[in-house]
Amino acid sequence: MVRYIIVSIVSGILFGILDGLIHANPLAQSLYEVYKPIARTSIDPITGIVIDLVYGFIMAGVFQLLYQSLPGKAALVKGLSYALLVWFFRVVMYTASQWVMFNVPGETLLYSMIAGLGEMLILGVFYGLTLRQMK
């Protein structure tokens, strides 16, 4: 249980760092100009940190719950499998919705898909290397 708590906190922090790198870099800033008319002019960092920590706990818990069902025998392969699963349900479906509902340039959507894949792979590898099935 202690391992789960530590990994969840670290993964929540990792979520925040990766989100910052993904969304605050110059390429992302230029690609996300399309959202400027509806984007907030400032963010609440405390709320962002809390949300990322909650994500860390949920993602780590779901990984542990699904551990036996994930493809592969090695924990690292299970982490990568989990990353692809989460990427599909979190990033691909969101990006497809953006494509259907809004006039968003293809480059922006592609960036979101690639950056999201990178983020999920990093987190999946982290979970695979640090967590096992709940007992």
- Rounded distance, CA 120 to CA 97, Å? 19
Query: Both tokens of residue 66?
Result: 């699904």
Neighbours of 1 (CB within 10 A): 7
Question: What confidence score (pLDDT) does residue 53 get?
Answer: 95
Q: For residue range 17-29, what is the model confidence (pLDDT) as tens digits? A: 998 899 889 999 9
64 contacts 135 by C-beta, under 8 angstroms: no
Q: How many Å apart are CA 50 and CA 131, to the nearest integer?
A: 22
- Residue 39 phi/psi, 5-degree rounding, is -80, 150
DSSP label at residue 73: S
To the question of pTM greater than 0.95 for the whole model, the response is no
**For 73-124, how does the pLDDT look when each residue is reduced to its tens digit (9 = 90+)?**
999 999 999 999 999 999 999 999 999 999 999 999 999 999 999 999 999 9
- The position carrying tokens 């922006």 is 108
Does residue 133 have a pLDDT over 70?
no
Give the integer Cα–Cα distance in Å for 37 and 94: 19
Contact 123, 15 (CB under 8 A): yes
pLDDT at 100: 95
CA distances from residue 52 to 14, 87, 101, 104, 127 in whole angstroms, order as listed: 8, 16, 26, 26, 15
